[in-house]
Structure formats: structure tokens, C-alpha cells
Amino acid sequence: MDEYIWGDVNRISPEAPVPVFEMTKERTGCGGAANVAQNIISLGGKAKLVGVIGKDRDGEKLIQMLNLMGVGTADICMDVQRPTSKKTRVIVLSDTADFSHLNVDNTDDLSLHQGHHLLRIDRESKQEITAMLRERLLSAVISHIAEVDAIIFSDYDKGVVSAELIKAVVMRAESYDIPIIVDPKRNNFWKYEGVTALTPNHKEAGEAVQEEITDVSHLITVGEKILDRLSLRSLLITREEEGMSLFHRDSDGTLQVEHLPPYSRKVTDVTGAGDTVAAVFTLALAAQIDCRSAAKLSSLAGGIVVGKMGCATATPEELHQAIETLPQT
């Protein structure tokens, strides 16, 4: 779950050299895998979530929000030993907040402008779930494999996705020729051998090979290494303001790399953009669209959502309009 708290900062606390934040409004929304699901729903797809939440008020509220959207929640398990993952972002609304009188090295870093993130609070557990819960998740996924068009692993390194789960799902999905798309994090990165595609960001790709990607040539070397080591059909690396890079091989084995420019005209908040990219890329592949076209659609959708505050979605109308604005080729 994502929570946003807006307010103003007009003074410093007399108790300590910290800003006093006066809250004016708040909002909750879907984050993580729930954001992937709402992006699929927003574009006309259907989504079923398999995952873990806490047995708490936040978990109940998240289920309610997902049910209202039409997301299947019957296979979301409650774990009494962990809280529902929640990220709270505190955002300053005032035009400026001057902290120049504070004794810090760089006061410019503390000058807050409208919509500036002051603080993020994470409430979550990274402990591995129990063997019993892992079995419940695997059984849930297997029970739906014959009726779905694609599977997304939204892996956030929170102890829910295990190597055993990955291997079992990949083996079952192969027999049905179902594409599996993964938005990975560090811990399980190299355990996704045999999936269809990965959608890591630039930093995650570098961390996977324990290298800092310094230029495009280096990026291509890293991308090819990931593509081949995991036996992927395609690899889509997101690169923030530099767009995306798609890696795949032709039928004769020739490496193909396509760099897609960013399509965003205005960046308001990059939160959840990776979720949107994974969702749209998956929808396109599920519809048997080629990976190049799928990547272009994903890039367009990502450009749409970064122009909105928080974990946002793109609508079919917005995506169609973005396609219409592309130069004719």
C-alpha cells in the first residue's frame, strides 16, 4: 500500500533542528504488485493477485481497493507475523520552505519546493514467509495457469518469492507456453532462468553483474550477458531520463538492441513507473505482440504515468493519444 501525506512546512521545531510538518490532506493507493494489477485493469485486462499481506487494517483496506477495481484477491494470503507493506511519502505543498538558518553543509538540499518529497517511511517485513505460505502461493498459481495468458513476478525482495516458487512456476508455465515476465530485484535476479523477459532498471541490471554501467557500450555488454545467462527471449532495461533499451536475438541468433527515447514531456513522480512498464509489456506479449512493439507501448505508458503523482495508471485513451503523437515512420 502507498500512502501520501501532503502539508506545509513554515517553521522549525523548538525541540530539535527539524521542520514542523503541518498535514493538510492524505491519500492511500495501491503500490507494489497491487500497482501492477491496477495498471492491467486500467488498460482493459484482467488480473488475479497471488501474494501476502498482513492481517491488519492496511491489509483489509488494500483488499477493499483491489476488489473495487475488479482485481481477483481470493489468493492473497494473510500472515499474522508480518505487517502489510506500506510506504508513506510526506510531501510539502508550500511554494518554498527556507532552511538556510540550519547548521548543515548544503542548505540548498533542504530547500523544499511545491510537491517536494520531504520524507518516506517504510513499514514492512523482509523475513522469508513460512513453508506453509509458500505452498499456498504455489498451489494458487498452479491452479490458475491453464486459464491465464501471462504471469508477472513482481519481486521486491520482501521474502515472499523464493527460488523454489520460481522454478516450479516456470516448469508449469512451459507446458502451457505462457509468457512469464519478471520485474526483478537483487536477491533472486539470477534465479529467473527460463522466463520470457525481465524488466529491470538500469541500476538493477548493473548490480546483477556487480558493475556500474558507465555508457551505452557497457550497457550493451551487460544486457547481452543477462539475456544469455537467463536464456531470455527479451530483456527490457529502463533507464529513467534516457528511455529504455530492448535486447533480444533474431532467429539466427544475432543480438538486436534497440534504444527507445523517453516519451515523457513532464516528470512529476517516477514512483511506480516500473510497475506500469512491466504491466504493459506483459499485456502486449500476452496479446502476441512482438517484443519491439511491446517495448514501445511500455515506454509510452511509462511516460504517461511519470507525469502523474504517485503510483498511477495509463488509460487506453491516454495510450492511444500518445501513439497518435508519435512521428510517422
Per-residue pLDDT of the chain (329 residues; tens, 9 = 90+): 999 999 999 899 999 999 999 999 999 999 999 999 999 999 999 999 999 999 999 999 999 999 999 999 999 999 999 999 999 999 998 654 444 433 434 434 434 444 688 899 999 999 999 999 999 999 999 999 999 999 999 999 999 999 999 999 999 999 999 999 999 999 999 999 999 999 999 999 999 999 999 999 999 999 999 999 999 999 999 998 889 999 999 999 999 999 998 886 666 667 778 899 999 999 999 999 999 999 999 999 988 888 776 778 889 999 999 888 877 65
Domain boundaries, the chain: 1-30+86-123, 32-83+125-324
For 308, the grid coordinates are 502523474
Cα–Cα distance measured from residue 133 to residue 301, given in angstroms and rounded to the nearest whole number: 34
- The region that residue 286 occupies, defined by phi over 0 for left and psi between -120 and 50 for alpha, beta otherwise, is alpha
pTM: 0.88
Among residues 109, 228, 275, 290, which one is catalytic?
A: 275
CB atoms within 10 A of CB 78: 15
By DSSP bridging, strand 112-113 and strand 96-97 are antiparallel
Q: Are 245 and 258 in contact (CB under 8 A)?
A: yes
Tell me, yes or no, if 275 is annotated catalytic: yes
Q: Which of 18, 11, 66, 9 is nearest to 41 (CA)?
A: 66
90-102 pLDDT tens trace: 999 865 444 443 3
CATH assignment of 32-83+125-324? 3.40.1190.20
> In 16-126, where do the E strands start and end?
19-29, 48-54, 72-79, 86-92, 96-97, 112-113, 116-123
CA-to-CA distance for 93 and 73, rounded, in angstroms?
35
Taking the C-alpha atoms of residue 58 and residue 74, their distance in angstroms, rounded to an integer, is 17
